[in-house]
Chains A and B, each alone.
Chain A
Amino acid sequence: MLAIEADALRRTYTSRTGWLRPRRTETEAVRGVTFDVSRGELFGLLGPNGAGKTTTIKMLNTLLLPTSGTARVFGHDVAREPVAVRRRIGYVFGGDRGLYERLSALDNLRYFAELYGVGARDQKRRIGELLDLVGLTGRERERVEGYSRGMRQRLHIARGLLHRPDVLFLDEPSIGVDPVAARDLRRTVAGLAAAGTTVLLTTHYMAEADELCDRIAVIAGGRIRALGTPESLKARVGDRDVLEFEVYGVDEELLARVRRIPGVRGAAVEERGTAQALTVQSDRGAEPHARVLAALDGVRVGRVVSREPSLEDAYIAIVEDATARREPAEVTA
């Protein structure tokens, strides 16, 4: 039996603004998402902000009803059998919120153990195991309000695992976490998957997805744009060369100019402290180096590196392609 089955899932949000002349806006957050996750698989859902990742997860974990389509978790329909689904899932989300600030970590876990039906006899042992697993043993009696973001994130994971869920939804668990804590988090997640827990992970960190995931779906504009193993996604840009320029002050206009260079298949810029990293993908052998530098006339350019395409390059190519033929998400009435 499959752990997760999503079939043509759609979700539309309706919002109203104004009292005297109300305006109704419909936003299609998810537009027909279909995928399966096998038991014990570590499945990644990648996409830019607003792509529909969290909405998809919230439909799968029963917090939202799909507008249309169906989804099942271990055969239980998420719309019709929410309690059966909730017994088998854990949900961990990133960020500072989602914990009782005034309680200690121990009391947070005790309360959620009650909520998730962990038996009284099991509770103490299970909480001890999880505190060990996430490295919070010794700090469990401190109030959560004094915890760092990394410690909160680890506590979120412990909470999500209290009732030994068969499926764990991890929604951007490493957001804002320092590199060492993120590495520990990846180890924990890999360990869970190795022990047979099915994991659905959303993340913005491509290296994390590349390292952890068995398969990845890239979602953009509410639709799945690509689905496969990290290797198969990378192969989509295997016929490309990648140049990375260290630049200072590239704006959208310059970026568009770079994209228009013959042979260039895509260009993206990422802020890195005071500098920017301009990544240019081109057809293999096109050698656009000089033409890119010419297009960047007037911009300070530092180091230039040529490298093999990575998962991040594949992701950028998929998302840019989706953006280029994007349908309007909002309908106003």
Chain B
Amino acid sequence: MLFRFLSSARLVLVGGALSYRALFNWTTPPMFVGTLLVGPLLQVFFFVFLGRELQVADDRFHLVGNAVLAASASCVYGGTMAVANERRYGTLGAVLLSPRHRGPLWAGRALPYVLNGLLVSAFVLAAAAAVLGLPVPVEALPGLALVLLAGAAACSAFGLALGALGLRFRDVFLVSNVASSVLLLLTGAAVPRNTLPEWMRTTGELLPLTHAADAARRLTAGDGLDARLLGTELLVGAGYAILALALLAVFERGSRRRATLDVM
């Protein structure tokens, strides 16, 4: 029993770390810094200055919301790459021939992007707050870390669910592009949700980062940790994790029947 647990833990941790290095396209320092750190930081500035000009919302709204949203680049695209890039390298067949349980295998794929997303959000929040002079209470930091972690985890599960589509469809990065725009629009991270139509607000409730962004804003405003928002974010993440595993299982089984994988 203990051996099986340790073996699964190794598959998640060691396997996850190796797959991240093997499959994530942005691990080189220029790509990592440019795509995951500088790009999102500039996006924060863009929305903050636009918000000031249009007086849509205050600096805190845009800064914190976009910092939380910054995790989406690594989580959504990373989750997609974690599955879809197997096709690119022709390794999908070798992976699917593994006799290991698929739960730890795919969970290991998502884990590095959770940490990556957390790092990116924390960096963007800290850097933007320092540059724009937004005060963040020190006592809010543990809660913020928790909220950012929950947001990154939910978003990684969302990304893995999109990546699962890569087992069935070839042009899955198209879906990731659309998903990124959907997150930008509907999570309320960059656009105040009360300005959106009802159906968009409802859809936003079901997306990752929506509740994490609200919780992070409250924390930076000194209102303390809202356990309900945190719990809802985790629940949304758990839903996407279950969806991802279900889709991966269904598409893997379907691929044997329909020969839909260009596996070798």
Interface residues of A (CB under 8 A from B): 11, 13-14, 54, 58, 61-65, 82-83, 86-87, 89, 91, 93, 95, 97-103, 107-108, 110-112, 114-117, 119-120, 159, 171
Contact = CB atoms under 8 A, between A and B. Distances in A.
Contact of B90 (A97, A103, A114): A97
Contact of A101 (B14, B27, B89): B89
Interface string B7-35: 10011001100110111000100000000
B94 interface: yes
B89 A159 contact: no
Contacts of A107: 18, 21-22
Interface stretch (B98-106, B127-135, B174-182): B98-106
A119 B18 CA distance: 17
Contacts of B99: 83, 86-87, 116-117
Interface stretch (B41-49, B194-202, B252-260): B252-260
Contacts, number: 92
B56 interface: no
A117 B10 CA distance: 10
B258 A54 contact: no
A54 B18 CA distance: 29
Interface of B: 6-7, 10-11, 14-15, 18-19, 21-23, 27, 89-91, 93-100, 105, 256-259, 261, 263-264
Contacts of A120: 6-7, 10
Given A63-B256, A64-B259, A117-B7, A112 B21 contact: no
Most buried by B among A14, A54, A108, A114: A114
Contacts of A93: 93, 264
Given A98-B91, A99-B89, A114-B14, 6 more contacts: A62-B256, A87-B99, A97-B91, A102-B21, A107-B22, A111-B15
A209 to B, nearest CB: 21
B94 A98 contact: yes
Contacts of A58: 263-264
B13 to A, nearest CB: 10
Contacts of B89: 97-101
B100 A117 contact: yes
A115 B108 CA distance: 11
A94 B245 CA distance: 31
